[in-house]
């Protein structure tokens, strides 16, 4: 499933619905390695309890499960001696070589060390942490509560969720109890435990500020973050976010910061997602994810909801369906709005991405959708998600000048027929038909909507566009406050169709 990338703002490292939870308390036996016993309690926190004067008992229960992580990696750096900025020394070196050890261009080898946190989840030494804490490490050391130090083995890493699993050779360790993060509510009291700046087992308190945060430019692709105001600082990454009963609800991962310090906006990976990843890493060393093959999806904006006569913005809009794909065979069509997946509501495109990713490849999924105002249900067989290959970069800047036609309602847009040479230049698939956007006035409504040179207009207000004349005709006929466009574009690693809306009111210059 292709999802256009989205990002909000810079972040600083501090560092759904994953597994079925069948009982109020049980043990889960994990697969391949040593089958660790993971203690889980699925009941929600008691929200009727009065907030006490102290959380000391909760901290005593959970704090021994949090460990210090020390990593070491070898870095090779090429350096140039500043003396060689002087022409005399450069000439001297050319005449006599480097027999004096001045080192015009030397390679230095250094050991870099970093700090992080982790959480013991089984008595026999399985530890959850953030992937970026151990990424690239040559050696990983773990110090537990009694100050004993162990060399850790990396069982597996999953960059898409920024989760990693470590193993140390030890017995009878103080393993934390896992909760069900799906039971969390905004306003629940939480405590963050970690090792900020190397200060062992530091505890801070806050609440759940928000749930399901995504679209953040941090380490991970699959994001369903718990947002909290519990202070998280450098070194907290991989540490524990616990509830008021001392149970693990998240792995601390990142903070929002403009200066590197805590601003009260921290993020943690929900424990249900981390458990799903851990299960796969322990059993097979990698995470296998489902894929809804052949669809490109996007969020439903207010204007798109109006353009598709939808009652609200809930759901994921299907922008494109590839021919001969699993999605096409299941009956999905461009313009469908997916509102449910395997019995769970789909709020937006990212929510659908998470639900699909956490499904087994080869399994059958039930999709609930809205098409032309009518609810439908289709069954689709999921494939396996594989690493996406970025398409070849192309530039529309040097397009050969074709015959051009200016539209009326799409003020500021110049369109042209898509010639074979231009199709090849832009690497447009053979089955894509439309009018080439040859030029867009940067001060136009179309430019404000995101229409760019090199895009193709495929539809205007649900009517197909095959050639430039279609775009001109449909543009002149367009009524209402906005024009709904279906376009094809290539941008970075994304290539496919999207829906956009253009204001149909003439812009004042």
User: Do residues 134 and 114 lie in contact, with contact meaning Cβ atoms separated by under 8 Å?
Assistant: no
User: Do residues 471 and 456 lie in contact, with contact meaning Cβ atoms separated by under 8 Å?
Assistant: no
Helix (H) or strand (E) holding 487: strand 482-491
Those residues whose C-beta lies under 8 Å from the C-beta of residue 265, and which sit 6 or more positions away, are 209, 227, 229, 255, 256, 257
Helix (H) or strand (E) holding 26: strand 25-29
User: Do residues 235 and 204 lie in contact, with contact meaning Cβ atoms separated by under 8 Å?
Assistant: no
Instruction: Decide if 132 is catalytic.
Output: yes
> DSSP states of 296-361 as a string?
EEEE--HHHHHHTT-SSS-SEEEEEE-TTSHHHHHT--TT-EEEEETTEE--SHHHHHHHHHTS-T
Q: How far apart are CA 275 and CA 163, in angstroms?
A: 10
> Token pair 């997946």 is at which residue?
341
Those residues whose C-beta lies under 8 Å from the C-beta of residue 472, and which sit 6 or more positions away, are 405, 406, 407, 408, 415
* From 162, 180, 243, 336, active-site residue: 162
Element counts in the chain: helices (H) and strands (E): 10, 31
> DSSP states of 93-161 as a string?
HHHHTTTT---SEEEEEEEEEEEEEEEE-STTSEEEEEHHHHTT-SEEEEE-TTS-EEEPEEEEEETTT
* From 237, 257, 296, 444, active-site residue: 237
Q: How far apart are CA 371 and CA 425, in angstroms?
A: 35
User: Do residues 238 and 69 lie in contact, with contact meaning Cβ atoms separated by under 8 Å?
Assistant: yes
User: Reduced to 3 states, what is the DSSP secondary structure of residue 387?
Assistant: coil
* From 63, 93, 117, 132, active-site residue: 132
Catalytic residues: 132, 162, 237
């Amino acid at each position: 499933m292709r999802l256009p990338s989205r990002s909000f703002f810079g972040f600083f490292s501090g560092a759904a619905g994953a597994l079925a939870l069948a009982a109020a308390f049980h043990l889960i036996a994990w697969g391949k390695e040593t089958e660790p016993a993971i203690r889980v309690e699925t009941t929600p926190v008691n929200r009727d309890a009065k907030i006490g004067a102290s959380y000391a008992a909760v901290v005593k229960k959970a704090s021994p499960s949090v460990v210090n992580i020390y990593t070491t990696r070898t870095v090779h750096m090429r350096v140039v001696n500043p003396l060689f900025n002087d022409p005399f020394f450069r000439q001297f070196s050319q005449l006599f070589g480097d027999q004096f050890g001045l080192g015009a261009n030397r390679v230095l080898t250094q050991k870099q060390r970093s700090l992080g946190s982790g959480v013991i989840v089984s008595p026999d030494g399985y530890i959850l942490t953030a992937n970026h804490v151990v990424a690239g490490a040559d050696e990983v050391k773990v110090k537990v509560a009694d100050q004993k130090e162990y060399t850790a083995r990396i069982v597996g890493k999953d960059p898409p969720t920024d989760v990693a699993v470590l193993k140390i050779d030890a017995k009878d360790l103080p393993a934390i109890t896992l909760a069900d993060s799906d039971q969390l509510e905004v306003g629940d009291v939480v405590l963050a435990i970690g090792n900020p700046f190397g200060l062992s087992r530091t505890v801070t308190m806050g609440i759940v500020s928000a749930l399901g945060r995504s679209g953040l430019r941090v380490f991970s692709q699959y994001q369903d973050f718990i947002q909290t105001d519990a202070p998280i600082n450098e070194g907290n990454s991989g540490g524990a976010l616990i509830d008021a009963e001392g149970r693990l609800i998240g792995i601390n991962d990142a903070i929002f910061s403009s200066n590197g310090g805590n601003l009260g906006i921290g993020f943690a990976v929900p424990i249900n997602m981390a458990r799903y990843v851990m299960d796969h890493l322990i059993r097979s060393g990698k995470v296998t994810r489902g894929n809804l093959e052949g669809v490109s999806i996007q969020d439903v904006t207010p204007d798109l909801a109006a353009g598709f006569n939808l009652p609200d913005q809930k759901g994921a809009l299907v922008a494109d369906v590839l021919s001969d794909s699993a999605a096409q065979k299941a009956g999905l069509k461009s313009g469908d709005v997916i509102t449910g997946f395997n019995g769970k509501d789909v709020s937006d495109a990212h929510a659908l991405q998470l639900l699909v990713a956490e499904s087994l490849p080869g399994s059958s999924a039930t999709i609930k959708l809205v098409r032309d105002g009518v609810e439908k249900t289709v069954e689709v067989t999921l494939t396996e998600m594989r690493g996406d290959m970025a398409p070849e970069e192309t530039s529309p800047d040097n397009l050969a000048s074709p015959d051009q036609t200016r539209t009326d309602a799409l003020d500021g847009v110049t369109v042209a027929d898509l010639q074979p040479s231009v199709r090849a230049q832009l690497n447009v698939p053979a089955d894509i038909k439309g009018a080439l956007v040859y030029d867009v006035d940067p001060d136009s409504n179309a430019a404000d909507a995101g229409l760019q040179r090199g895009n193709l207009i495929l539809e205007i207000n649900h009517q197909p566009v095959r050639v430039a004349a279609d775009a001109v005709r449909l543009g002149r006929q367009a009524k209402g406050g906005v024009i709904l466009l279906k376009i094809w574009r290539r941008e970075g690693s994304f290539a496919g169709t999207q829906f956009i809306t253009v204001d149909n009111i003439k812009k004042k210059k």
